[in-house]
Amino acid sequence: MTAAPARDVRGPEMFARYAGAPNRLGYCGPADPAAMDSADRIRAAAPHFSGAWPYLRVLSRLTGIADPLDHRLVESYWLGGGVGETIDPLTFTAELLATIGSGAQWSHLTEDLAAEAAANHCFHVLGVYPWTRLPVTGHDDHPLHVLDSCRITSATVTACDSAGFEVRCRRLTRTGTTLTRTEPVTTRVTADERTPPEIAPGDLVALHWGRVCDRLTAEQHEALENSTARQLTLTNRRLVRARR
């Protein structure tokens, strides 16, 4: 008897690396982080991520890639670029609305947002979530903290120790209501059991909610930078229109 071919686990494993930090904080996904301790369990848990999963389903339909957790779709969702880059924003918005509709965290997803839309996580954070629309209260810019933590941030590792990493990255800031990124600053981040091993100074990495969740290739770093810059430009246009 011929053994069945091994199922590709790259997509589920990448999904868990990026989704693990907010899941552990209780923001999304199943209540028990152990629900993502194997590829099969990740597949079972993924539909419980109410933000990421609809995007992956739509990406699957629009690209013809049958598995929503195919690594090409997962990479394109978290980092931008890749197979989702050429999807028409109007088509994507219509498909996403047909999949999820509006309500709760999706109340700002309307046809009016189509010009800003992209099939990736940065659009979901800056476009669909309410945080870009909330005012700053006093000196506590909590909305900005959430936006900066929730987006995927590229960084360069400068030092490592047993507790985590020192990295250089561009933080999100705002001038008035315009969102921009700072020049690179040094910050401290942590690791967990899903952090890729043997990360060293000089490595490019991805950050999510204060954790190193992946090592980036030069191409992935470029895709993430480009998708972030695009989204900030389009989101700021919306914010300018809202002030008029």
Answer yes or no: is 1 within a domain. no
Answer yes or no: is 4 within a domain. no
Our CA angle for 30, 131, 12, nearest 5°, is: 30
Q: Choose among 109, 125, 97, 92: nearest CA to 232.
A: 125
Answer yes or no: is 179 within a domain. yes
Q: What is the identity of the amino acid at 243?
A: R
Answer yes or no: is 235 within a domain. yes
Q: What is the identity of the amino acid at 240?
A: V
Count helices and strands in the chain by DSSP H and E runs? 8, 7
Answer yes or no: is 182 within a domain. yes
Mean pLDDT per 10-residue section of the chain, whose length is 244 residues: 63 95 89 83 93 96 97 98 96 93 73 94 95 73 94 98 93 90 96 86 97 96 98 95 80
Residue 71 near residue 11 (C-beta atoms within 8 A): yes
Quote the number of domains for the chain.
1
- The domain of 15 spans 10-243
Answer yes or no: is 136 within a domain. yes
- Tokens of residue 122, six digits: 């940065």
Answer yes or no: is 165 within a domain. yes
- Tokens of residue 163, six digits: 């507790």
- Helices 71-79 and 10-24, packing angle to 10 deg: 40
pTM: 0.93
Answer yes or no: is 61 within a domain. yes
